[in-house]
Amino acid sequence: EGTRPYLLGGNWKANGTLATLRALIAEFNAAGPIPANAEVVIGAPFIHIPECLSSLRSDIEIAAQNCSLTGPGAYTGEICASQLKDMGVTWVILGHSERREGFGMAGEDSDLVARKTKIALAEGLKVMFCIGEKKEEREAGTTMDVCASQMKPLADILSKEDWANVSIAYEPVWAIGTGLTATPEMAQDTHASIRQWVSDNVGADVASAVRIQYGGSMNGANAAGLLAMPDIDGGLIGGSSLKMDFFSCINSVP
């Protein structure tokens, strides 16, 4: 809406091979221009980041899908924020529900996600900070309690200046990868509550400037309705970002 440029993030997760992603990059590169009021970022697997940096059109920025809680050092298997920044990565997706869940490993709690966010910002990365409720939580009417508890450690740890480089990705867990999208009205309602929470807990200036992306089965067919809503400032797009449908989402910005 107005002064907030739309932010369209793709989240490739652990999908693709070098060959399939090269083919997709070629298609993205051949697609038309990106609307002037849209910022586009692809969250690539760590190993595919160099290929994206060298081959993907320069008007699409690159995000990592996670970063370490540590700095550089003896942390086998970790990738730290300063290393991402050094490569030319400009964004990182943090606190995705899949990482919070942990898929069989220890999941990430809101305190940890907030600390990772602080580190990433300190290294000069921008952060898509993911929040969102599960199906049972929506049904129990606790959606905003869940979102608030996920944002509280972040509000406690960030300075006002930090918020300039944060986008909140509201991703109802029941809508991720399920084909079930929140209706534009349902999403708008939660986005407005999230913005109100930021206003009450961080500041009205931050609340009016912060982007709030919607995520959860967004695609070229439903993006226009969602993006038309006053508090929906973009999308975080999983499945559709692995196809040319991603550009249909991008071209759906009002």
Nearest position to ligand PEP, beta carbon: 238
CB of 76 to ligand PEP, least distance (A): 27
Out of 217, 227, 232, 252, the residue judged to bind ligand PEP by CB under 6 A: 217
Nearer to ligand PEP, 93 or 114 (CB): 93
Which of 66/82 has CB closer to ligand PEP? 66
Taking CB under 6 A as the criterion, which residues in 2-61 touch ligand PEP? 11
- To the query of whether residue 139 is one of the catalytic residues in this protein, the response is no
Closer CB to ligand PEP, 188 or 219, in the complex: 219
3-class secondary-structure state, position 41: strand
x/- track of binding to ligand PEP for residues 77-116 (CB under 6 A):
----------------------------------------
Long-range contacts of 73-82 (CB under 8 A, 24+ apart): 79/46, 80/119, 80/123, 81/119, 81/120, 81/122, 81/123, 81/125, 82/123
Is 61 designated active site?
no
Tell how far CA 192 is from the center of its chain: 18
Which among 39, 96, 108, 137 is annotated as catalytic?
96
Nearer to ligand PEP, 175 or 206 (CB): 175
Q: At what angle do helices 110-122 and 143-157 cross, to 10 degrees?
A: 40
SS3 category, 91: strand
Tell me the window of 118-126, 188-196, 202-210, 215-223 that interacts with ligand PEP (CB under 6 A): 215-223
Beta pairing partners, 92 = 64, 127
Binding of residue 215 to ligand PEP (CB under 6 A) = yes
Give CA–CA dist 122/49, Å, rounded. Answer: 21
Q: Can you tell me the distance from the alpha carbon of 42 to that of 28, in angstroms, rounded to the nearest whole number?
A: 11
Q: How many CA atoms lie within 13 A of 14 on its CB side?
A: 4
Rg (CA), the chain: 17
Q: Which of 60, 63, 218, 223 binds ligand PEP (CB under 6 A)?
A: 218
Of residues 162 through 181, those in contact with ligand PEP by CB under 6 A are 171, 176-177
**Residues of this chain that bind ligand PEP (CB under 6 A):** 11, 171, 176-177, 215-218, 236-240
What is the set of active-site residues?
Answer: 96, 171
